[in-house]
């Protein structure tokens, strides 16, 4: 199957086209190839940004199959996330998707890839207006029912195509687009092959496990991620509040401490702790980014009100390093942390992981937006 890669590469400087130019590319629903251009993106028109990641693939959270889907000619721009201002003040802060036709290159970029888009590619029905763009964010509802929102996240499944886990092109594109280094891609695939072998080995399990653990520590400097919830099934999991504010510093507790707060399914009052993408951050110090008390449930479009706010941390994103069938996903979604899993610290900036290099080019595949007590 044909796979149209973006003409841009990570680090390229691009300019978001003007409002009228972008509206001319949209169909009546405000989309290009099923991907909505959202009102929150209008503020960036005419401004210049660096490409943070090429979104040739992404994880499916709308249908919650938690598998990769492929996209055509789409990128993420560094630092640009949805504010939720046109979607009921949703606080998910999703990484925005930008179709190539909404962008134009600035200069040569030194790559030779980012050539101007043919004018035939940026002409659509011309029937979309800013007013229609605003009205398309919320589906009509009957009576006093809560509104259902539509956004890039809720429509992601329809705007993408299936991507088989064995399609080797995705790994080649990870390197070609500069999303990941060749060493990173090979390391992720090698460690996954060891984990698969461990699950299927008929004999010599202890030897294979020892070798897998040794290789993981050698290549990553940390133990292989795992989880063993200590709260018995049916028993209530503990809770705790710190009333953290954005800008404060926290240390993520050790995995062993967090396991004491989780049930056998790895959850604390409905919120999942993902051992694969969250455990690698344990024991490190970060700055609080935001408190999340409401977000759009992507499968239904309804706004979820959290019974206890969760925390997002600066630079702490899903890196797609361990999650099966979602390797090297560039979406870089923020994990949600219980305050119970954190401890407030007074740390000078020099000791704080306020930026994670991966957050600039990737974005919680492991996010679980369930209502939590």
10-44 pLDDT, tens digit each: 999 999 999 999 999 999 999 999 999 999 999 99
Domain containing 294: what range? 249-360
Whole-Å CA distances, 312 to 96, 292, 343: 17, 7, 14
Q: Say if residue 109 is in the same domain as residue 152.
A: yes
Q: For the beta carbon of residue 149, count every other beta carbon within 10 angstroms.
A: 22
How far, in Å, CA of 343 to CA of 357, rounded? 24
User: pLDDT at residue 359 above 50?
Assistant: no
In a domain, 238, yes or no: no
How far, in Å, CA of 29 to CA of 129, rounded? 10
- Displacement of CA 202 from its chain's centroid (Å): 36
In a domain, 261, yes or no: yes
Rounded average pLDDT over 118-145: 70
Structural contact between residues 86 and 36, judged by C-beta atoms closer than 8 angstroms: no
pLDDT of residue 180: 97
Count of the separate structural domains present in the chain? 3
Q: Say if residue 342 is in the same domain as residue 260.
A: yes
Q: Say if residue 195 is in the same domain as residue 298.
A: no
In a domain, 365, yes or no: no
Least confident segment among 26-35, 40-49, 57-66, 109-118: 109-118
Q: Say if residue 305 is in the same domain as residue 192.
A: no
Q: Say if residue 117 is in the same domain as residue 38.
A: yes
- Residue 77: what are its φ and ψ, rounded to 5°? -95, 135
Q: Say if residue 29 is in the same domain as residue 138.
A: yes
Nearest Cα neighbor of 102 from 38, 176, 177 is 38
Rounded average pLDDT over 352-358: 47
In a domain, 175, yes or no: no
Q: Say if residue 354 is in the same domain as residue 255.
A: yes
In a domain, 314, yes or no: yes
In a domain, 206, yes or no: yes
In a domain, 225, yes or no: no
**Where do runs of H (alpha helix) occur along the chain?**
19-23, 130-135, 169-176, 182-200, 205-220, 255-259
pLDDT in tens, 226-277: 889 999 988 999 999 999 999 999 999 999 999 999 999 999 999 999 988 9
Q: Say if residue 31 is in the same domain as residue 126.
A: yes
Q: Say if residue 62 is in the same domain as residue 158.
A: yes
In a domain, 230, yes or no: no
pLDDT of residue 139: 82
Q: Say if residue 78 is in the same domain as residue 143.
A: yes
Q: Say if residue 141 is in the same domain as residue 213.
A: no
What is the pTM for the complete model shown?
0.88
Cα first-last separation, the chain = 45
How far, in Å, CA of 238 to CA of 361, rounded? 35
Q: Say if residue 20 is in the same domain as residue 155.
A: yes
Reported confidence tier of residue 63, pLDDT bands at 50, 70, 90? confident
């Amino acid at each position: 199957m044909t796979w149209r890669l973006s003409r841009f590469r990570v680090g390229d400087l691009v300019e978001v086209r003007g409002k009228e130019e972008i509206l001319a590319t949209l169909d009546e629903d405000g989309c290009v190839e099923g991907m909505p251009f959202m009102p929150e993106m209008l503020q960036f028109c005419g401004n210049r940004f660096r490409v943070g990641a090429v979104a040739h693939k992404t994880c499916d959270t709308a249908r919650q199959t938690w598998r990769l889907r492929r996209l055509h000619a789409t990128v993420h721009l560094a630092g640009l996330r949805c504010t939720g201002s046109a979607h009921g003040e949703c606080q998910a802060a999703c990484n925005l998707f930008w179709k190539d036709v909404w962008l134009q290159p600035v200069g040569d970029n030194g790559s030779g890839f980012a050539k101007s888009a043919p004018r035939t590619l940026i002409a659509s029905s011309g029937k979309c207006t800013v007013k229609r763009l605003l009205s398309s964010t919320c589906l009509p509802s009957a009576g006093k029912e809560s509104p259902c929102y539509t956004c890039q996240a809720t429509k992601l499944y329809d705007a993408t195509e299936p991507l088989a886990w064995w399609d080797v092109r995705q790994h080649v594109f990870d390197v070609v687009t500069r999303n990941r280094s060749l060493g990173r891609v090979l390391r992720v695939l090698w460690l996954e092959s060891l984990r698969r072998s461990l699950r299927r080995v008929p004999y010599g399990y202890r030897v294979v496990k020892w070798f897998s653990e040794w290789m993981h520590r050698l290549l990553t400097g940390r133990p292989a991620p795992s989880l063993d919830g200590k709260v018995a099934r049916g028993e209530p999991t503990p809770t705790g509040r710190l009333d953290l504010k954005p800008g404060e510093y926290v240390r993520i507790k050790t995995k062993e401490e967090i396991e004491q707060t989780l049930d056998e399914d790895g959850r604390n009052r409905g919120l999942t702790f993902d051992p694969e993408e969250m455990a690698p951050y344990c024991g490190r110090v970060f700055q609080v980014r935001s408190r999340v008390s409401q977000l759009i449930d992507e499968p239904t479009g309804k706004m979820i009100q959290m019974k206890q706010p969760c925390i997002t941390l600066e630079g702490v994103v899903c890196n797609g390093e361990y999650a099966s069938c979602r390797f090297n996903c560039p979406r870089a979604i923020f994990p949600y942390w219980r305050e119970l899993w954190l401890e407030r610290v007074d740390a000078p900036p020099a000791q704080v992981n306020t930026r994670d290099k991966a957050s600039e080019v990737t974005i919680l595949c492991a996010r679980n937006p369930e209502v939590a007590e």
